[in-house]
Amino acid sequence: MSIKHWLHEARLLLGIERSTTRHGEKLISGLGAFLGILAVYWGTRWCFPDGFMHTAGTLIMVTSMGATAVLLFAVPQGALSQPWAVIGGHLLSAFVGVTCQQLVPDQTWTPALAVGLAVAVMHYARCMHPPGGATALAAVIGGAEIYKLEYFYLVAPILINVVSIMAMAIAFNAFFPWRRYPAHLTRRQIAKPTVTAERQFELTQEDFSAAMEQLNSYVDITAENLTQLLELAKQHAEKNITHPEQIIPGHFYSNGKLGNLWSVRQVVDAANHANANKDQVIFKVVAGAGGYATGICLRSEFRQWARYEVIPQPNGHWKKLTDDDV
């Protein structure tokens, strides 16, 4: 097997996804996180200029806010980033952490108990927010100044930190229509649906809900965004005819399938023989199932396999060839 094949398998094994965001979006996320943490610092200092409970050295912000900044400004549409996830995730986890420290202090397993219970509570309260685990942990290992706060820890620094960073997330993301926060405020302009081709089976939101339940794993996407993604994908599919008329050497073709069955082939050479039984195509698989393998088949067989022509994108993804690309 080639080095490219091994690198492809390693990428899949490690879960390294191809980037789908432009450079501008990456820079916006970084700037937003910078402003978010500044808001946390200055918001807490404004509320408590002399520190908490007259102790100037007491913690102004918890480190878990750094992880929250990543979610609010890099993944503002994610399920883990929504207001109830942030508020409930931090406050409930803080309550669990303080309670564990008071009931079973100075035990080697107390930090593990706090994080484990926090995860379970967030699951049941439907406010899963990964930084909440760090908030619970800080209540147990934060030291004497944190212990002295007791349940006031939920108010300062946690609640004030949360309100500050969420206020910045709402204000900052409002400047960019495609990433307004909370996700419910996002108003993407969906093109007018095309005439739906007759299908034996039509995917519905209920189908996706059932599939997610069967998957039995937390998926970081809201039902609203999932439905919108499904509709956009259906509209995109309906605009393209299937099976290209020409099979051209050097061009790329996709079988249009999903998941592990998806594959992209590049035509290396084509005989263009007058006899259909000898008109063969040599190809190599450049993405998806059977990556980097080569093969040969009749042109008619290749055309039946190929659903449409595609063109490679700079971010490693593939785009259907349309009239605008010709």
User: pLDDT tier at 50 (50, 70, 90 boundaries)?
Assistant: confident
Q: What integer is the mean pLDDT of 139-150?
A: 92
Q: Give start and end residues of each alpha helix (H) in the chain.
A: 3-14, 23-47, 64-74, 83-103, 110-125, 131-141, 144-149, 160-173, 205-215, 223-238, 299-305
Is residue 166 within 8 Å of 72, Cβ to Cβ? yes
pLDDT band of 285, cuts 50, 70, 90: very high
For residues 253-266, average pLDDT? 86
Q: To which H or E segment does residue 265 belong?
A: strand 263-270
With a cut of 60, say whether residue 41 has pLDDT above it: yes
Question: Rounded CA gap, 74 and 179, in Å?
Answer: 10
How much is the average pLDDT of 277-297?
Answer: 88
pLDDT of residue 97: 98
What pTM, to 2 d.p., does this model score? 0.70
- Could you tell me what percent of the chain has a pLDDT over 90? 48
If you average pLDDT over every residue of the chain, what do you get?
84
pLDDT at 308 exceeding the cut of 90 = no
102-106-112 Cα angle (round to 5): 85
> Where does the pLDDT of residue 191 fall: very low under 50, low under 70, confident under 90, or very high at 90 and above?
very low
* Residue that wins the pLDDT comparison between 207 and 97: 97
Q: Where residue 245 falls among pLDDT bands split at 50, 70, 90?
A: confident
Tell me what pLDDT residue 152 has: 93
Has residue 1 got a pLDDT over 50? yes
| Cα gap 147→138, rounded to integer Å | 10
What pLDDT score does 70 carry? 96
CB burial readout 148-159, b (16+ within 10 A) else e: ebeeebbebbbb
Q: Give residue-wise pLDDT tens across range 196-241.
A: 444 445 566 556 666 666 656 555 776 667 777 777 776 666 665 5
d(CA 214, CA 208): 10
Q: Which residue has the higher pLDDT, 322 or 180?
A: 180
3-class secondary structure, 65: helix
